[in-house]
Structure 1
């Protein structure tokens, strides 16, 4: 399949080129030239299929023209070594738990898929090829990418993250690994980290010296596989007899996650509408309300993976809807919650239902409580395990939260990072010295 740039000024690319480059040469994001609808037979039988079987059908629609069938099947099945159950929180509200993977966050799906796909393309190119993955993280991306790519031959990973703006547990998940993973601690914000990564991709000298790619959701191999679990959520709701008038609420930061869901809808997934749940970083909500997109510096909140002031994937949403504000608002609404509202939601949900939310899931749950109409069934994406936000959650509910053994193992590791000012010249010098 051909991939084009959202900015329209770069040459078209193959899947391999789009994955290895990450970002188009005109700074645009790659988009597939077409989105294949899935058959009615697939949807008729979806409730009887496993997560892996569903994901393979979705992956085949995206990548089947470019990757041999059994290779793609192996990539999908290796990626999805864990479940993403839809758990009933109350009558018509379900939590799609995306925290059962290795780093207990939704990004395990996209990161593990991309690591395997990129590894496949590098192996095809032969020995001596080396790709350097640059990734900016506001929290969970770093850990998912680092763990997904850990030990993959021919790949080095550099994780850029804002100093003192991720939780200790998040930080330990990508600063304790060693091997082919390097953590760069930037004295700035997530937006600074993202700007450094984008500058690196645009620097001619750096790109001539080393092959760079991104593992943020700007990379098609990271964001497209996130569509898998939307289909699986629908399958579970259908099995429970709750598949009519389905509404999906997505806690949104860089907007890769909701974009994957919107792609699913284009493929025929029967989701009635989407709600984008924001924290105080609500430039998308402002766009929905006014038709004007005004990116601004991000503000730190307790839902830190959503602290994004200029979401990269907004460009893909515009491309998907051909820049029509009317078409976008017909399918997507938005909400925004401050820290106090998020805390209040975690407490109320736990007291009333016994279900423990993380700060991001709390935004999704609250939006459904407020915005579901009669006869609708909603599911929200519970994007990370509450234990990853231990201090916040324990303080809110007044109880200790059990830390899963996988997280405890990371906590026992020794942090290693490289401190750096948010200055591209410093990053360039560091990378060229490696």
Structure 2
């Protein structure tokens, strides 16, 4: 299996080399040269596998340059330490919740990051190199990455986050770490400003090469492929053996990475009827899938909401979907992003029907009032407490139920990460165990920085591994 760029300017590369690159040299994103496929007989064989075993099988279709025994060792190291079930499923009020928050940082990002930490270290050891990871987070990516990569000798992490835009819990999960290889940088602005800084430095090929820069944001190939696994896992547990039952998935989405993995699973042959994108008030993606026009908002127009991990208006992974939408025509992808730069939007209204008819993607928006009402209704009906992002998913899922089609909602995080919103919704003060309380009370280590590319360059040059 080889990987090419959405913009056509990268020679095919194997999995390990691609995941160390981040952005392709031409500014595009890596995609499989040919999407692997899975048939019904294979799916049935996979029903009896544990989660690490299933991860080995699915990831083995993408990472063909990694010996199977090495891959199995890495998936075991990534998922077997989970304290309980890796991905439990439970029914809540007409939909099935796919539990993706059982990892060390209580968020779905752990599902990919725990594997990424293993495979990046493996690739660096094989290459005899180091990697300085430059990332941006709106909340959960940063903590998941830092907890997966802390203490690793060949890796240093520079994680940008927007000042004042994350919950207190999210800040504590990141800023309480004092490992020498972890550098937290709080940037004046919003998530998109952080993401723009990452793209600017990653697009400077000389700087990227000399500073050994890589990425762990959702553009990283290892994250996308690792997330594909739980779509297969959830389908295998939500359906009966021997059948070919279609299910739908609702995915709270800001950067389009999580739902893109579902799109990959569908393209591989998994029987998915609908992929339902749930947006918050920063609903640029919902507008795109309803109108065909993609028009990102400025930093000033990006709202601070009670589902902060989705406070994003420029979805980095949308480019991978557009590449498939235009029949893998790299020139059209380049033109679309040129239009974005020159006129602030691109227009695919002529392709709008294909979003649903061919690719099965629909969308909806949830507001602060919606998520409070959803958290309240789920709690009153089932006794379960769900986090605000998952509530966005449940709200939009309920609007897209179809008779006879199971609806699975991907959980985003544990409610403890957003205690203030939970209290506002149901009046309950969530309890923290001893470890979580110690984390919240620990000293915080963070560098505050203006939205300044040169200041960031200087900081990286001073602290990067070489």
Provide the rounded CA distance (Å) in 2 between the counterparts of 1:166 and 1:93.
28
Establish whether residue 109 from structure 1 lines up as the match of residue 111 from structure 2.
yes
1:416 maps to which residue?
445
Provide the rounded CA distance (Å) in 2 between the counterparts of 1:368 and 1:207.
41
Provide the rounded CA distance (Å) in 2 between the counterparts of 1:223 and 1:413.
33
Q: Report the CA distance between 1:163 and its aligned residue.
A: 0.5
Is the contact made by 2:100 and 2:411 (CA closer than 8 Å) also made in structure 1? yes
Q: Report the CA distance between 1:401 and its aligned residue.
A: 1.5
**CA 1:334–1:383 in 2, change beyond 3 Å: closer, same or farther?**
same
Provide the rounded CA distance (Å) in 1 between the counterparts of 2:157 and 2:285.
30
Establish whether residue 48 from structure 1 lines up as the match of residue 52 from structure 2.
no
Aligned ranges 1:339-358 → 2 under 5 Å? 339-358=368-387
**CA 1:405–1:245 in 2, change beyond 3 Å: closer, same or farther?**
farther
Provide the rounded CA distance (Å) in 2 between the counterparts of 1:53 and 1:205.
40
Q: Report the CA distance between 1:404 and its aligned residue.
A: 4.6
TM-score of the superposition, structure 2-length normalised?
0.89
Is the contact made by 1:251 and 1:361 (CA closer than 8 Å) also made in structure 2? yes
Provide the rounded CA distance (Å) in 2 between the counterparts of 1:213 and 1:137.
15
- 1:249 partner SS: strand
Establish whether residue 311 from structure 1 lines up as the match of residue 288 from structure 2.
no
1:255 maps to which residue?
256
- 1:371 partner SS: coil
Q: Report the CA distance between 1:11 and its aligned residue.
A: 3.3
Provide the rounded CA distance (Å) in 2 between the counterparts of 1:210 and 1:157.
12
**CA 1:394–1:59 in 2, change beyond 3 Å: closer, same or farther?**
same
Aligned ranges 1:217-256 → 2 under 5 Å? 217-238=218-239, 244-256=245-257
Q: Report the CA distance between 1:241 and its aligned residue.
A: 10
Provide the rounded CA distance (Å) in 1 between the counterparts of 2:390 and 2:161.
22
Is the contact made by 1:209 and 1:432 (CA closer than 8 Å) also made in structure 2? no
**CA 1:377–1:412 in 2, change beyond 3 Å: closer, same or farther?**
same
2:337 maps to which residue?
none
2:91 maps to which residue?
88
Higher mean displacement: 275-284 or 41-50: 41-50
Higher mean displacement: 294-303 or 250-259: 294-303
**CA 1:248–1:173 in 2, change beyond 3 Å: closer, same or farther?**
same
- 2:363 partner SS: strand
**CA 1:40–1:208 in 2, change beyond 3 Å: closer, same or farther?**
closer
**CA 1:292–1:169 in 2, change beyond 3 Å: closer, same or farther?**
same
**CA 1:175–1:45 in 2, change beyond 3 Å: closer, same or farther?**
same
1:130 maps to which residue?
130
2:178 maps to which residue?
178
Is the contact made by 2:105 and 2:143 (CA closer than 8 Å) also made in structure 1? yes
Is the contact made by 2:133 and 2:214 (CA closer than 8 Å) also made in structure 1? yes
Provide the rounded CA distance (Å) in 2 between the counterparts of 1:233 and 1:124.
33
- 1:333 partner SS: strand
Provide the rounded CA distance (Å) in 1 between the counterparts of 2:256 and 2:243.
26
1:169 maps to which residue?
169
Q: Report the CA distance between 1:5 and its aligned residue.
A: 1.1
Aligned ranges 1:24-423 → 2 under 5 Å? 24-63=24-63, 65-81=64-80, 82=82, 83-90=86-93, 92-126=94-128, 129-179=129-179, 180-238=181-239, 244-297=245-298, 298-322=302-326, 324-330=351-357, 331-423=360-452
Is the contact made by 2:366 and 2:396 (CA closer than 8 Å) also made in structure 1? no
Provide the rounded CA distance (Å) in 1 between the counterparts of 2:240 and 2:385.
24
Provide the rounded CA distance (Å) in 2 between the counterparts of 1:242 and 1:169.
43
Higher mean displacement: 365-374 or 246-255: 365-374
**CA 1:172–1:242 in 2, change beyond 3 Å: closer, same or farther?**
farther
2:333 maps to which residue?
none
Provide the rounded CA distance (Å) in 2 between the counterparts of 1:136 and 1:400.
30
Provide the rounded CA distance (Å) in 1 between the counterparts of 2:58 and 2:321.
19
Higher mean displacement: 204-213 or 331-340: 204-213
Can you give the 5+ residue segments of structure 2 that lack an aligned partner in the other structure? 328-350
Cα deviation code 1:342-395 (max 9, x no counterpart) = 111111111122121111110111122221022121110111000000111122
1:432 maps to which residue?
461
Provide the rounded CA distance (Å) in 2 between the counterparts of 1:381 and 1:242.
22
Provide the rounded CA distance (Å) in 1 between the counterparts of 2:32 and 2:380.
45
Q: Report the CA distance between 1:282 and its aligned residue.
A: 1.3
**CA 1:318–1:169 in 2, change beyond 3 Å: closer, same or farther?**
same
The runs of 4+ residues in structure 1 deviating greater than 4 Å are 239-243
Cα deviation code 1:113-134 (max 9, x no counterpart) = 11111101111122xx321001
Is the contact made by 1:102 and 1:406 (CA closer than 8 Å) also made in structure 2? no
**CA 1:42–1:406 in 2, change beyond 3 Å: closer, same or farther?**
farther
